[in-house]
């Protein structure tokens, strides 16, 4: 973007000299808000259990209020080490992060990411997304009923 300034009037020579030396950027200055992944990303399986073991029974429906915590688990393909984050979408559309940054097990074994202890006592569909940057690479839903 080029900016032209037309000035009518008399300015001291020093002011004109300073204005002439100011750099005007040709391109807008931007910074990325999140890293953009490159290449093909592996799909990550996401599931929920009622125990801190990936081999525990997977659940897709729960009764609220919960009597025990839920655990979010993931599995990536063998030989794929993926760094990711988890986002939960509540029934009202609000989103919240789960934990921090995670990494899959490169052997392809499932991993529990931790307990979902602040599960709201609201019926509805809860969506759990696994993201690499801003790209969803895995997702599951849990339906809460009364």
Indicate yes or no: pTM above 0.85.
no
Smallest CA-to-CA distance from 85 within 102, 110, 106 is with 102
What is the distance of C-alpha 1 from the center of its chain? 33
In sequence order, what DSSP letters do the residues of 73-114 get, joined into one string? EEE--TT---EEEEEEE-TTS-EEEEEEEEE--TT---EEEE
Torsion sign, CA atoms 76, 50, 135, 102: negative
Per-residue model confidence as pLDDT tens digits over 11-24: 455 544 544 554 54
CB 83 within 8 A of CB 135: no
Tell which CATH classification among 2.60.40.1930, 3.40.50.2300, 3.40.50.1220, 3.40.50.10070 matches the domain 45-145. 2.60.40.1930
Instruction: For residue 93, list its beta bridge partners.
Output: none
Q: pLDDT tens digits, residue range 4-63?
A: 444 444 545 554 454 455 454 444 444 444 455 557 899 999 999 999 999 999 999 999
The domain spans of the chain are 45-145
Q: Please, which residues bridge with residue 87 across strands?
A: 97, 129
């Amino acid at each position: 973007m080029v900016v032209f300034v037309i000035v009518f009037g008399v300015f001291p020579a020093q002011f004109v000299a300073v204005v002439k030396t100011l750099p005007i950027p040709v391109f807008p200055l931007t910074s990325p808000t999140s890293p953009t992944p490159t290449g093909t990303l592996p799909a990550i399986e996401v599931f929920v259990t009622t125990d801190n073991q990936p081999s525990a029974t997977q659940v897709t429906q729960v009764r609220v209020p919960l009597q025990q915590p839920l655990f979010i688990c993931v599995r990536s393909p063998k030989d794929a080490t993926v760094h990711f984050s988890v986002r939960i979408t509540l029934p009202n559309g609000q989103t919240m992060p789960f934990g921090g940054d995670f990494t899959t097990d490169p052997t392809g074994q499932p991993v529990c990411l931790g307990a979902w202890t602040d599960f709201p006592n609201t019926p509805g569909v809860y969506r759990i997304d696994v993201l690499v940057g801003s790209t969803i690479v895995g997702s599951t839903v849990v339906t809460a009923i009364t």
